[in-house]
Structure formats: structure tokens, C-alpha cells
Structure 1
Amino acid sequence: YILKEIFDLIVLPELFTTGYLFTSQKEVKSLAEKIPEGFTTKELSRIARKKDAFIVAGLAEREGENFYNSAILVGPEGFIGRYRKVHLFNEEKFWFTPGNLEFPVFNIEIARLGIMICFDWIFPEATRILALKGAELICHPANLILPFCQKAMVTRSIENRIICITANRTGIERRGTQKELKFTGASQIVNTEGRILLRLSQEETVGTVNVDPASSRNKHLTDHNDLFIDRRP
């Protein structure tokens, strides 16, 4: 798909190169990649150069003896940066180390872009930090399994007046004797007013929509209420 279509930014799900379930630390070690030297970063950078576009994608990262649930940002000039998931969900704690890069915002040609991964959604501080740092788009690679996550991301958009792009996995994953996981799909793009601009099905598919990143700079809810100026931390 991404070699055929025209786009400025594409967001892929969490851990899109490996799947979500692991059976051992040895397996994680064999599948995790170094960033930016690894195959996936190089290949997505090649595609980004060819398409003159930006790509956000989730993958397992290895740095020394530590492993992270990470997401990379690449563009026409190659690797730009990464985010390491701060809030690990359930058995992710067996395999990964919590992220140590805080919540970076990347100033790219098309927008100021922040990244959060899957379970970060339940912690409103994650989105708020990115918004306070000036993010105009939040890219949210995910492997969501709980039924209410997408609704929560609508709230995150409203309370920060920011565009949120959730790229969620679809289908069912089974590994050995582990309980199977059913992913909820329903990838979505939500604007600053909480309007769902795009909502996909539970089947594997791709969707595109035009957004205006500059709209995220306006934090006014009314003529006399700026959501960030009115904050009382």
C-alpha cells in the first residue's frame, strides 16, 4: 500500500514487525532490533525517502541488554527519532524496560509531532505533556484489546485540543499455551473538537484523511477560555 498511495504521514501499529505475544526473553532478544541501525528503520527510511513522506511505526528495540517497546519516526532524510513506551501493559513488564526518553516532540516539515504507544492512553499526563511541549499531532501506535480505549482517545483530543492518530492492530494472536488476544481494530483520527474524522473497521485495512495540524495551536474553548492558560496545576 505505502508504495502505491500518496501521503504525508503514515502511522503503523505497535510492535508491527514482531506481533505482541512473546514466549521468552530469548525470543525477544532474537526479534528486537537496534535503532537506527536495524533493518526496519533502514527499510522504512528508504520508503520515506522514496515517497517524500514521514512514517511512525512501533517495534521492539534492543539497546545493550535492555529491550524497549519503541516507536520510530523516519522521513525523507532518514531516521529522525524514537519514543520508548513509558507505561507497560500487563506481561510487557516481563519483556521490556520502561521508556527513559520521556515524551519527545519532533519538529518536522509538516507539523510538530509527538508519539505515545498503546497503554499510554489511560494516563492523561502523557497526552498533556506532549501538548504542553507544542505537539500538533499525536501519533499513537497501538495493540488495543480493551473496548473503551478509542473513546478515551477522543477525550484526550478534546481536553488538549489536539489531533490524535491511533493506528491499532486487528485480528487474533495466539502463542503456545498463552491466552489468545483479540485486537479491537477501529483505528481512528480525531480532531481538536473530538470529532472522529476517520474510523476504520475491525478488519485489516488502510484509511487516509486530510488534517490541519495548525488547528491544534488554538487552545480556546470559548472566547474567554484558553485551556492551557486556564490550567491550575
Structure 2
Amino acid sequence: MLVAACQIPASVDAPDPAILAAAVREAAGRGARLVVLPELAACGYVFRDAAEARAAAEPTTGPTVTLLRELSAELGCVLVAGFAELGDDGQVHNSVALTDGGGLVAVYRKVHLWGSEPDLFRAGDARPAVVDTSAGRIGLLICYDLEFPEWARLAAEAGAEILAVPVNWPLLPRPAGVPALETVKAQAAAGTYRVHVVVADRCGSERGVDWVGGSLVCGADGYLLAGPATAPGSVAGPAVLVADLDPVAARDKAVGPRNHAVHDRRPELY
């Protein structure tokens, strides 16, 4: 099954859902059945304050999720994308929506908030969403969530075959020529819990912030099938990465003839 990670720009100052739609159409045109887009994919990320984040937030019946539903119905694929959610409780959340065949299947709210996000969003209070779709059983995480091994483990234990992870990885100082640590952690999560990982990062400079551009597709053995989209030291640009993976392969947690990623755990000692 072909999956795609779409690396696109987004801007609080000039939100443009047409960019999102064009990337989805390109991915679907190349045969992708699962398409993952970045965190806060349409509205942008670098909000000045809570009022600005609230102004960009919308309910699940709003234009962003409606667009995702329409595209998934038209193109026959599963879409995963981040959006600023205005919840029924009146709180603003950093959320991700999964649509399949025109229906909204799941919404997950980011639990582990990064940097100034606690000033802008209310953290989620539920475990990673893991749902059955036409593209396999998919677990949803957002950006910083993936850096907590327990969170990836919970999704894998719930039967996720693919972790779909919208991210906005800010470009931070690192030694020259080495991959971003975030991409290494994505591979580690895949290999440790024997689950496919699809990460969609973003590109473009927004209010002085640049991005890793680390979109990737990683197999359940921890090895890259596509990406990272941006080489170390290069400037992140738009990209649509496509790779072939077998969701069923993630059900096999064996690591060689004598070891097992789940059965070998010793939780009574942890």
C-alpha cells in the first residue's frame, strides 16, 4: 500500500487551504491511500498569543475538516492533518483529524505541548486515538507526542499498524552534517515497537521560525523507506514523499527467531 507524507508551508498571516489540497491531490495522483499532512496544516503555527490562536480555531464542522472530508471522498484515500480545534467545551486544542471516504473517523488532541503551546492550547487528556480505516489500523500522535516512548507504545499496544504523525519540527542548532534528533526518535519508535511511522513536517519560514523539513516514512523495522525530505544543512522546501508499506507486517512483533518486541518486556521491573 502506498502512503504519502506531504511537506507544505503554512502561515498564520496568510492561511491558504489550497496548498493543502494541492499536496493531497498530488499524493493521491501518485497512488497514495494514506496521506499525512503537517501539524496545524492550514492555519499556521507561530501564533503571537492565545487570542490569535482562538481566532484561527474552528470546530470539527468548520472549513478545514470539511475540506479534508471532501477530498477523502473524492480521491478515495485516508487523510490525516492537523488543525486548531475549537472544542465544544470552548477550549482551543492543537488537534489532528482523520477522514476516510468522506467521513470524520477520529479527532485526537495533542497531549504533550511544546514551548509556548500551553499558552495557546488546552492539552488533550486521552490516549492516542487508534482506529480502523480503509488503509489499515492507524494511530494518531502529534509532533512532541512522538518523543515520549510511552505514547508510541500505547498506540502500538492498541493495535496500530501505522503511526500517522503530523509535526512542526522547529529548526534548532545541531552539529553540522548530522540528522535532526527528531527523525532519529521517529525511527527508534518504529523499530522499538515494530510499527510503521509516517511523519509529515512543514517547510517555509514563518515569523522568523524555520523548520527541519523532516518528513519521512519509516518501516516497522525502523529503517527509512522515504526521506527525510530535507538533507542536513539544506533549506526545507515543499515535498510529497511516497513509499510502499504493508500494514499487516506491523502485526508481527518478532525480532528474530527468539525475541519479541512485546513479549520480552518486563513491566514488573520498570
Structure 1 CA distance for aligned equivalents of residues 135 and 25 of structure 2: 20
Tell me what 2:25 maps to.
3
Structure 1 CA distance for aligned equivalents of residues 153 and 124 of structure 2: 17
Please give the secondary structure, in 2, of the residue aligned with 1:226. coil
The partner residue of 2:116 within 69, 91, 97 is 91
The partner residue of 1:152 within 185, 195, 199 is 185
Aligned residue runs from structure 1 range 6-45, under 5 A: 6-35=31-60, 37-45=61-69
Structure 2 CA distance for aligned equivalents of residues 83 and 34 of structure 1: 13
Aligned residue runs from structure 1 range 120-139, under 5 A: 120-139=145-164
Tell me what 1:187 maps to.
215
Structure 2 CA distance for aligned equivalents of residues 24 and 84 of structure 1: 19
The partner residue of 1:102 within 107, 127, 146 is 127
Task: Letter of the 2:266 partner, please give it.
Answer: R
Worse overlay, 137-146 or 126-135: 137-146
Alpha-carbon RMSD: 1.2
Tell me what 2:137 maps to.
112
Alpha-carbon displacement from aligned partner over 1:143-186 (angstroms, at most 9, x marks no partner) = 01243101111101110011000100112211xxxxx2210002
Aligned-pair CA distance for 1:3 = 2.8
Alpha-carbon displacement from aligned partner over 1:7-39 (angstroms, at most 9, x marks no partner) = 20100000111111111222111110101x111
Are residue 55 (structure 1) and residue 79 (structure 2) matched? yes
Task: Letter of the 2:38 partner, please give it.
Answer: P
Compute the TM-score of the two structures, normalised by the length of structure 2. Answer: 0.81
Structure 1 CA distance for aligned equivalents of residues 197 and 25 of structure 2: 24
The partner residue of 1:164 within 197, 217, 224 is 197
Structure 1 CA distance for aligned equivalents of residues 35 and 182 of structure 2: 21
The size of the alignment, in residue pairs, is 227
Compute the TM-score of the two structures, normalised by the length of structure 1. Answer: 0.94
Please give the secondary structure, in 1, of the residue aligned with 2:255. strand
Unaligned runs of 5+ in 1: 175-179
Contact 1:171–1:184 (8 Å) recurs in 2: no
Contact 1:49–1:77 (8 Å) recurs in 2: yes
Contact 2:78–2:134 (8 Å) recurs in 1: no
Greater RCO structure (CA 8 Å; 6+ sep): 2
Task: Letter of the 1:45 partner, please give it.
Answer: R
Identity %: 31
Structure 2 CA distance for aligned equivalents of residues 49 and 159 of structure 1: 34
Please give the secondary structure, in 2, of the residue aligned with 1:207. strand
Please give the secondary structure, in 1, of the residue aligned with 2:95. strand
Contact 1:137–1:165 (8 Å) recurs in 2: yes
Structure 1 CA distance for aligned equivalents of residues 219 and 199 of structure 2: 12
